[in-house]
Chains A and B, each alone.
Chain A
Amino acid sequence: GNSVTQMEGPVTLSEEAFLTINCTYTATGYPSLFWYVQYPGEGLQLLLKATKADDKGSNKGFEATYRKETTSFHLEKGSVQVSDSAVYFCALHANQAGTALIFGKGTTLSVSS
């Protein structure tokens, strides 16, 4: 079946450090891929997405490239800020109408000044 695996946290960084959160997936066909962010006590917000191989999603300095050959969608940011501290979820959609997203377990990022 379809699944998402992301690196376990917590990830602890200093401000302005480089961030990578790894995400790999297993899916049949051609899924769409997403990164969501959750700030403390809130719901999830879409951070970025990619719908086909080699697409790069980007938003707020974050980037992720859909790599079909390595079944990966790693999240990167060149210089993190304290305000980026949150939980990040990688997710896939199998592109079948009405099916739910499949989420990874989430990675907690903590950035200190």
Chain B
Amino acid sequence: DGGITQSPKYLFRKEGQNVTLSCEQNLNHDAMYWYRQDPGQGLRLIYYSQIVNDFQKGDIAEGYSVSREKKESFPLTVTSAQKNPTAFYLCASSMLAGGSGEQFFGPGTRLTVL
């Protein structure tokens, strides 16, 4: 089945630690995205990538980093510089051209800082 997987589903970390969230897709999509979701705030774009080895900051990139070494994978690292990292993180992917912009989402990772 084609789709997007995120792991783990729940993640706990201590303050001051970096943590990496996994996102993998087998849809052969060029573009991938990371969003953060907080209650009542909707989705906010952290980073996105259109092609391998290239990525752009979104609206709230501070305290986060990404890499795109493979087309299928777009991991997100939440660094200790992120002041309030507890949130629900969603990864998405889309065709780069030829589509209507529709994005496909993974099931999300809930990160809690203890």
Contact = CB atoms under 8 A, between A and B. Distances in A.
Contacts, number: 58
B7 to A, nearest CB: 13
Given A98-B31, A100-B33, A100-B48, A32 B100 contact: yes
A94 B43 CA distance: 17
A43 B45 contact: no
Given A97-B97, A98-B31, A100-B48, A45 B105 contact: yes
B94 to A, nearest CB: 8
B106 A49 contact: no
B16 interface: no
Nearest to B95: A97
A45 B102 CA distance: 10
Interface in B23-73: 31, 33, 40-43, 45, 48, 50, 58
Interface residues of A, number: 24
Contact of A105 (B40, B58, B103, B110): B40
A2 B52 CA distance: 27
Contacts of A41: 108, 110
A69 interface: no
Interface in B87-108: 90, 92, 96-97, 100-108
A7 to B, nearest CB: 13
Given A97-B96, A101-B101, A43 B106 contact: yes
A43 B108 contact: yes
A95 B32 CA distance: 16
B42 A93 contact: no
Contact of A44 (B6, B31, B96, B105): B105
Contacts of A106: 42-43
Contacts of A36: 105
6 contacts: A32-B102, A34-B102, A42-B107, A45-B105, A97-B96, A98-B96
